[in-house]
Amino acid sequence: MRLAGWLVSLTLVAGAPVAAQDVPQGLLPDVAAPTAYRIDLTIVPENERFSGHVEIDVDLKKAARSLFLHGRDLNMARAVARVGKRSFAATYTQVDPLGVAKLDFKTALPKGKVTLAFDYDAPFASSAAGLYRVKVADKWYAWTQFQSIDARGAFPSFDEPGHKTPFTVTLTTTPGLLALGNAPEVDTATAGALVKHSFAPTRPLPTYLVAFVVGPMAVAHGSVRPSPQRATPLPLRIVATEPNKDKLAFALENSGPIVTLLERYFGTEFPFPKLDQIASPVMGGAMENAGADIYDDSLLLLDANAPVAQQQLFGMVVAHELAHQWFGDLVTPKWWDDLWLNESFANWMGYRIGNEWRPDLQIGVGALAEAFTAMNTDALAAGRPIHQPIATNAEIDSAFDAVTYGKGGQVVAMIAAYLGDEKFREGVRLHLGRHAYGSATSEDFFAALAEAAEDVRIVSSLKSFVDQQGVPVVRVERKADGLSVSQSRYHLLGSQVPAQTWSIPLCVKLGAQRQCSLLDAPGATIPLTGDGAIMPNAGGTGYYRFSLSGEEWGKLIEAGPSLPAGEALALNDSLWADMRAGNAAPALVVRAAKLMAGNAYSDAATSGGSRLASLRRRGLIGGGALPAYRATLDAIYAPMLEKLGLDLKAGAYRAENPDRRQLRESVVGLLAGEARDNGVRATLVPAARSFLAGHEDALDPAFFDAAFGAYVAEGGQVAAEDLFKRALESEDALSRTAMLDAVAGSGDATVGQWLLGRLAEGPRASEQVRLVRALAYEPETRAMALAWLISHYDRLVSENGIFAAGRFPTIAEAGCSIADADRAEAWLRPKVVQYKRGALELDRTVEQIRSCAALKEARGDEIAAMFD
């Protein structure tokens, strides 16, 4: 276990005792500032440990006999400080489980320039946290993932974002393996039986953006063509494990155009001398390491039959990570409380640039969907603002959530739209130019925007969303003299929240009329009159929800099929939110699901079915209501599939409009999974069998989830065991994940119990978390999944990393009773305290469960009857 590891290191290298209250829990004391790193690592992936020699040039601001820095689970053989020709032996002690360490010297170090030198070894991690290794097929590979505070698990450092220095790296490894870092390789040399790879010094970077990759990689070489901002080609490589050697072409062809679009937006060339786009099988997401972005296999490696959703994710995520090369890497936050600015801006850019890259994929609309999803988290009383003060290391991970990404991205979009694209872009360029290769704060960014806009009021509007948590809800009522609007903070039934107001850029449509204004008071009147349906979030671009009377909801739902995509998403979100707040009648959400199925945008057309499925998973629809529920979904979506047609062969719809392809995939999933349509399942199962028999053309990847789910539903435990075995033998990201998900999401208690008994036998550490989460989503397997989670919690933390541990409490969030809430609190709170991770996530989880219980108590009978 990680905790046991740090206790052992204290025993082996104990220095002067440090009282717990004296250990810095956040920013280190401002005594020493790094100015350069020289990192020499020996990385042989098939070994269980790596070793290193690290030197850090430091500016010591005053004489000191001890220094705090960072290091976690490092077996320190030697630590020394050099001042000129003098050496000062040091005792290295890890004094905190999150990786705070202390150097003690018998003689005080003088003020001025000091070099700290370390020799050590450490274990590889087994998941994407620190320097980790994974066995793919029969070969070992190593990658890094250092954000937020995992660089300290790979080398001693001052692991804070505000410290930006050059890094000079050498990697020694087995002959024949690829070794890469942030900078171009400049030399190789024999080192005994190994090979030493030397890299040019990097441009100034913080520790969390440093990256190393070593292994028998497959590589595709290319370049990004010169652009008006860049006179020479930019070297480009796509890097992946050997089994994925045939899936590099898509990323090689499409990464360059995204770089060019970003250069045009920012008005400057790519900030680093090369770009490696690297795939890892356990990354989960993606990371913007300077010049060496690392992505999950499923995000970067696409073949000719890639589903529309996978193409959309490629565009959005690659644009997001590459935007970070400017906004995050070129200019970095001084501390983690300004992380929101990095991620919110990059999220907005991901959708914007992704949409420019492939307009046919409608990637831009996804930003609205993500923002509406974020509102579910932001609506809770247990929460935080986008811009959150972070005092301790234990609080850092809470900033990586839907509030930062979904809400933050939408707030950036609102302000950009309010200012106008040119003024907002001018402010961005001004900010980057002022702080290039340095660090900056939110206030620096606000100042640049205000200067570009020539209007300081924009800062007040931005701060009203950035500096306070919560979602505004705008109540709109039709009056003789116009539309009466009032704002308050939205909350779920059973939750209590304080009174708040915002400065809301409010855009309302009434029929063909549209009016925008800044709602900065509790209420106002908008002078729009007429008989048409009211759309209180015109375009769907505002970060707020709306509430209407039953009559007005009816009119808007009737207009739903003709609404543009953004407004259709806003309707679905606000209607469901109004129902969960105890206002809109449950019957309205079923009516909306039926009518919105006629909307032209696929997500809007199927959102109603997906939302009803969430009620079923939480147990709000069960027992005697299930047959009518399934019949309702079948009546809505079966006619749609009949019109769309269904050919399961790989590539059958490759030339079709992407959104129509996406609609078919979603409809098939709802019919096979939720409606349990016998005809659809009877079509899917033979295709799944044929695919599993080796005929890969029999089943398009877009239908993997539905087909494998139907295969398990028909074949029970025998089919589940077969899929589980095949998944573990596969290195294809899509099919492996879909097979495992089908087993875990079966809703069969017997299959669930069998799977839990084998989770530790083959799935990777990150897959184990994913699978227990899927089991916990289904009512029939929820209790056993949570019991397994608690009994394996310590091992999961050790194998997945302490960063991942902060998300574990959310595995319980699908519960819907007071008993579920009490159980989550009793079982999970001790673990949260033990690991100093996940307190906010557990608070949110418990509140969600209690709110669901309140909804069930107040409206359970109405929900059960809404399919009659």
For 501-526, the pLDDT digits (tens) are 998 889 999 999 999 988 999 999 99
Residue 18 has what pLDDT? 58
Q: Do 470 and 379 contact (CB within 8 A), yes or no?
A: yes
**What type of residue sits at position 174?**
T
Q: Residues 486-491: what's their mean pLDDT?
A: 97
CA distance 813 to 758: 24
CA distance 553 to 570: 12
Which pLDDT tens digit goes with each residue over 51-83?
Answer: 999 999 999 999 999 999 999 999 999 999 999
Pair of tokens at residue 790: 């608690």
| Residues ≥6 apart with Cβ < 8 Å to 693 | none
Residue 868 has what pLDDT? 78
**What percentage of the chain exceeds 90 in pLDDT?**
88
Residue 415 has what pLDDT? 84
Residue 453 has what pLDDT? 81
Residue indicated by tokens 């609007």: 485
178: which strand partners? 215
Q: Do 357 and 258 contact (CB within 8 A), yes or no?
A: yes
Residue indicated by tokens 């009516």: 591
Nearest to 613, CA basis, from 664, 676, 670: 670
Residue 806 has what pLDDT? 87
119: which strand partners? 53, 78
**What type of residue sits at position 843?**
D
CA distance 36 to 227: 32
pLDDT at 268 over 80: yes
| HSE toward the beta carbon, residue 161, CA cutoff 13 A | 24
CB atoms within 10 A of CB 525: 11
CA distance 168 to 242: 28
pLDDT at 549 over 60: yes
Residue 836 has what pLDDT? 86
Label the pairing between strands 194-199 and 112-123. Answer: unpaired
Which strands sit side by side in the sheet containing 185-191, from one edge to the other?
64-70, 100-109, 86-94, 75-83, 112-123, 49-60, 32-42, 167-173, 194-199, 185-191
Which letter does DSSP use for residue 23 in this model?
S
Pair of tokens at residue 617: 């998973």
Q: Residues 678-699: what's their mean pLDDT?
A: 98
Q: What is the pTM of this model?
A: 0.94
187: which strand partners? 198
Nearest to 776, CA basis, from 765, 764, 788: 788
Which letter does DSSP use for residue 797 in this model?
H
Q: Do 315 and 354 contact (CB within 8 A), yes or no?
A: yes
Residue 355 has what pLDDT? 97
Q: Do 174 and 44 contact (CB within 8 A), yes or no?
A: yes
Q: What's the mean pLDDT when you consider all of the chain? A: 94
- For the chain, the first-to-last Cα distance in angstroms comes to 53
Is 55 catalytic? The answer is no
Give the active site residue among 288, 321, 395, 825: 321
Which letter does DSSP use for residue 89 in this model?
E
Angle between helices 457-466 and 408-419 (to 10 degrees): 160
DSSP H helix total and E strand total for the chain: 27, 28
Max CA pair span of the chain: 88
Secondary structure (3-state) at 184: coil
CA 141 distance to own-chain centroid: 24
CB atoms within 10 A of CB 6: 21
Angle at 455 between CA 267 and CA 341, to 5 degrees: 55
Q: What b/e string do you get for 74-83 counting C-beta neighbours within 10 Å, with b at 16 or more?
A: bbbeebbbbe
CA distance 552 to 558: 10
Which pLDDT tens digit goes with each residue over 597-627?
Answer: 999 999 999 999 999 999 999 999 999 999 9
pLDDT at 16 over 60: no
Which pLDDT tens digit goes with each residue over 307-330?
Answer: 999 999 999 999 999 999 999 999
pLDDT at 294 over 70: yes
Label the pairing between strands 49-60 and 112-123. Answer: antiparallel
Which pLDDT tens digit goes with each residue over 558-609?
Answer: 999 999 999 999 999 999 999 999 999 999 999 999 999 999 999 999 999 9
pLDDT at 682 over 50: yes
CA distance 366 to 377: 17
Burial class, 837, CB count within 10 angstroms (exposed 0-12 / middle 13-18 / buried 19+): buried
Nearest to 618, CA basis, from 322, 821, 408, 834: 821
Label the pairing between strands 32-42 and 75-83. Answer: unpaired
